[in-house]
């Protein structure tokens, strides 16, 4: 049995950053009453100026630029490569992180998860042609950076996704088939989470 939720971009609640320097649109999380108790969380952040990132001790972070000219991060004193659109970058949540914008404001997409509680896989898929994938992860999250994303899970049609909408599947153990195609060229992000 599969439980499916559709998260619409228009409904994402806006929440302040832990450090108070900005705000985040929260897409979904697995629970927890605070920003220190969830197992995993997906969000979108608008970054308008250089500055420090909030600390998430005990968590792993994977960040991807969605819009804008990109950024470069200094993580515990080491400079990252320039991070351009749809190029994910991972770092520890308790790292000291400072952000420099390469060409003005950006919007980014964030997965934050507890590596003690979950094994995670994140991949961006180009949708020039239909994709067919298989996964045995019990939690699947499909985030659309395209319009008109059509998804089938084990041949069952799912709600069509608009830009920045997200499908969230909670499944029984076993291999699942995902079929993904978009009405026009674009990308989507597939996240697979398995409890330890």
Name all domains of the chain by residue range, CATH numbers in brackets.
10-113 (2.60.120.10), 118-195 (2.60.120.10)
CB 24 within 8 A of CB 45: yes
Between the CA of residue 178 and those of 113, 150, 151, 156, 181, what are the distances in Å? 23, 10, 7, 9, 10
**Tokens read off for 40:** 């995993």
Question: With pLDDT > 90 as the criterion, what percentage of the chain qualifies?
Answer: 85
Please report the pLDDT score of residue 69 as a whole number: 95
The model carries a pTM of 0.93
From CA 40, how far away is CA 112, in angstroms rounded?
6
Query: Model confidence at 22, in pLDDT bands (50, 70, 90)?
Result: confident
**Straight-line distance from the first to the last Cα atom of the chain, in angstroms, rounded to the nearest whole number:** 21
- CA–CA gap between residue 182 and residue 130 (Å, rounded): 7
Q: What is the pLDDT of residue 17?
A: 77
Distances (CA, A) of 46 to 21, 69, 178: 11, 13, 30
């Amino acid at each position: 049995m599969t439980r499916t939720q559709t998260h619409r971009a228009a409904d994402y609640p806006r929440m302040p950053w832990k450090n108070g320097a900005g705000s985040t649109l929260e897409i979904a999380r697995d629970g927890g009453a605070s920003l220190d108790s969830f197992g995993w969380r997906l969000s979108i952040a608008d970054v308008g100026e250089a500055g420090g990132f909030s600390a998430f001790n005990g968590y792993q972070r994977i960040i991807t630029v969605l819009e804008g000219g990109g950024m470069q991060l200094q993580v515990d004193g080491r400079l990252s490569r320039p991070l351009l659109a749809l190029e994910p970058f991972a770092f520890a949540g308790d790292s000291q992180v400072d952000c420099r914008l390469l060409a003005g404001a950006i919007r980014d997409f964030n997965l934050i998860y507890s590596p003690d509680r979950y094994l995670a896989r994140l991949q961006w898929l180009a949708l020039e042609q239909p994709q067919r994938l298989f996964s045995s992860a019990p939690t699947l999250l499909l985030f659309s950076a395209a319009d008109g994303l059509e998804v089938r899970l084990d041949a069952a049609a799912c709600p069509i996704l608009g830009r920045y909408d997200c499908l969230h599947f909670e499944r029984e153990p076993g291999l699942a088939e995902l079929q993904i195609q978009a009405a026009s060229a674009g990308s989507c992000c597939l996240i697979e989470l398995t409890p330890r």
